[in-house]
Structures are given as C-alpha cells and as structure tokens.
C-alpha cells in the first residue's frame, strides 16, 4: 500500500497517479476475480477484528472518503463495510451544512460525529469539503484555506492522541471514467434517480478540483493521518486497496480478547 500513500509535505501531482492502475492484478476477468477473492478475505478479517475492537472499546478507527461525484464513495462503503456488525460501525454522510452548523466553526459538526471507542466510523465526505468545494467556488480565501489545513491537522492529532486511528482515502477516477458513469445514470432508467444536475457544474470545474485535491493532500497528509490516493477507475481494485489498508491498520492495533472482568473469582463462582 505504500505506493499510494501521500508523502508528507511534498508537492503532489495527480497526473502522476494512474486511476487505471490495478497493481499486480491483470486488467481482465482473471485479475478481477482474484482481486475480489482477496477482498472477500479482507472483509472477513475486518469483521472479526471489529468484534475485538468493540469488545475492548479502547481504540477507534476513522475512515475518511473523499472523491469527485461518481468516484464510488457509496459503493466502497457498501462493498467493504457490509458484513461488519452495524452495532460497531457508524457511517456519517456530510451534506451541505445547515444554518445551525454554519453558525459554528467548520469542525464543530464533524467532532460530534467522530467514532466512539470501539467503533469504526466512516465519513462519506467530511471536513475536507471545507477546503475543497468552498475553495473551488471561491467562497473562502486561500488564507482561510491555509489556516484550515493547520486546524485540520491539529484536530486530527487530537483524535489520534486519544486512541483513534485515521485513514483518509481519495478515490481517484479519471474525467473520462466520470463521463461514462454519468452517462450510465442518464441511460439506465433504474439509475436516473441518482442523477443530479449539480454534478455537471462540478464536473466543469474538474481541473480546479484536482488542483485543490493536490494542495489539500500535500498539506494534510501526516504521519498520524495519512492520505491514500486510491486508483478507482476499476471498482474491484478500489475495494481491494481500501479493504487491505483497513485490515493493516486494524492489525496494527494488536487487538486481543479483553481480560476477564476484574474482581470476579471465576473459579468459585456459581450461578443459581
């Protein structure tokens, strides 16, 4: 996974990251089938480790998903996280902020939704929208964006210092792939409800978005909360990359079965 990790404090060019990349897997049915089998194994492992995460309730995992429209944020959640016990998994979709949320700092609504100890939290979009859509549309100045980068780093440091592991994934699709996915929504009557005219406006701003993503990831990829650029043109490879990184992060937590409830003499205890 190291190849997809954004280097800390180095300028970044998304052009040098191929959204069509499939690593060691062939771009054919065979490659797809073996990647899927591998992903299924990872998903089963996540489900097991999640039970331990929940049992211990000492650590948390926060997964942040960002990407252009149709990049597969919803699909990644459905594919990778279905199978996890929903009792220990909380998905939060951040939409346009409400007036109450706008009346607070941009991290206020986000902080309320971070995963509790024992939980996996998934952010479908996140506080990073406040340095993306807002910037691309010129709603905030570059100075404010620069300050927000610092505020985000400090906020994420607070979370990690208190037991939360943070993984941030940018789902990287090409402009051409987005075209095909949008066309699919137009063509297929079963998918037309997903079509949103606003997506076309954002699409026109593609280059500006890529610039904003580059700046943002270069500025906020840290040792404690790294960004990963996930090649996402092929859904099966996208799922594999995310699932395998989640497994690694959970294995790094070295979760064990919790110790017996203290203060109980289990050898003499009788249930009547």
Interacting residues toward a copy of itself by CB under 8 A = 47, 55, 74, 77-78, 81-87, 89-91, 93, 122, 124, 179, 182-183, 186, 189-190, 192-197, 200, 203, 257-261, 263-264, 266, 269, 271-272
Shortest Cβ 214–a copy of itself spacing (Å):
24
Residue closer to a copy of itself by CB (options 2, 187) is: 187
Residue closer to a copy of itself by CB (options 81, 232) is: 81
Shortest Cβ 186–a copy of itself spacing (Å):
5
Shortest Cβ 223–a copy of itself spacing (Å):
28
Shortest Cβ 30–a copy of itself spacing (Å):
27
SS (H, E, C) the chain: CHHHECCCCCCCCHHHCCCCCCCCCCCCHHHHHHHHHHHHHHHHHHHHHHHHHHHHCCCEEEEEEEECCCCCHHHHHHHHHECECHHHEEEEECCCCCHHHHCCCCCHHHHCCCCCCCCEEEEECCHHHHHCHHHHCCCCCHHHHHHHHHHHHHHHHHHHHCCEEEEEEEEECCHHHHHHHHHHHHHCCCCHHHCCHHHHHHHHCHHHHHHHHHHHHHHHCCCCCCEEEEECCCHHHHHHHHHHHHHHHHHHCCCCCCCCCCCCCCCCCCCC
Shortest Cβ 82–a copy of itself spacing (Å):
5
Residue closer to a copy of itself by CB (options 150, 183) is: 183
Residue closer to a copy of itself by CB (options 16, 265) is: 265
Residue closer to a copy of itself by CB (options 18, 183) is: 183
Residue 137 to residue 134: CA distance in whole angstroms: 5
Shortest Cβ 270–a copy of itself spacing (Å):
9
Shortest Cβ 48–a copy of itself spacing (Å):
12
- Spatial neighbors of 24 by CB under 8 A, at least 6 apart, are none
Residue closer to a copy of itself by CB (options 122, 212) is: 122
Residue closer to a copy of itself by CB (options 33, 58) is: 58
């Amino acid at each position: 996974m190291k190849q997809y990790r954004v280097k800390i404090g180095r300028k970044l060019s998304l052009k040098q990251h191929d959204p069509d990349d499939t690593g060691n897997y062939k771009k054919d049915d065979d490659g797809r089938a073996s990647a899927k089998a591998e992903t299924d194994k990872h998903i089963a492992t996540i489900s097991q480790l999640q039970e331990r995460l929940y049992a211990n309730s000492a650590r948390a995992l926060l997964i942040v998903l960002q990407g252009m429209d149709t990049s597969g944020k919803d699909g990644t959640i459905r594919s990778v996280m279905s199978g996890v016990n929903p009792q220990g998994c909380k998905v939060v979709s951040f939409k346009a902020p409400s007036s109450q949320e706008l009346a607070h700092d941009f991290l206020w609504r986000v902080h309320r939704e971070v995963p509790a100890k024992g939980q996996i939290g998934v952010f479908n979009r996140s506080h990073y929208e406040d340095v993306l859509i807002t910037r691309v549309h010129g709603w905030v100045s570059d100075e404010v964006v620069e300050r927000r980068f610092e505020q985000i780093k400090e906020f994420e440091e607070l979370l990690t210092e208190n037991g939360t592991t943070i993984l941030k994934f940018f789902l990287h699709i090409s402009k051409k792939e987005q075209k095909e996915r949008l066309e699919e929504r137009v063509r297929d009557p079963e998918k037309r409800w997903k079509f949103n005219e606003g997506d076309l406006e954002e699409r026109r701003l593609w280059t500006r978005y890529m610039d904003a993503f580059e700046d943002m990831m270069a500025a906020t990829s840290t040792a404690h909360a790294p960004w990963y650029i996930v090649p996402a043109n092929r859904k099966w490879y996208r799922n594999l990359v995310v699932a395998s990184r989640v497994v690694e992060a959970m294995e790094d937590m070295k979760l064990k079965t919790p110790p017996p409830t203290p203060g109980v003499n289990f050898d003499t205890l009788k249930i009547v």
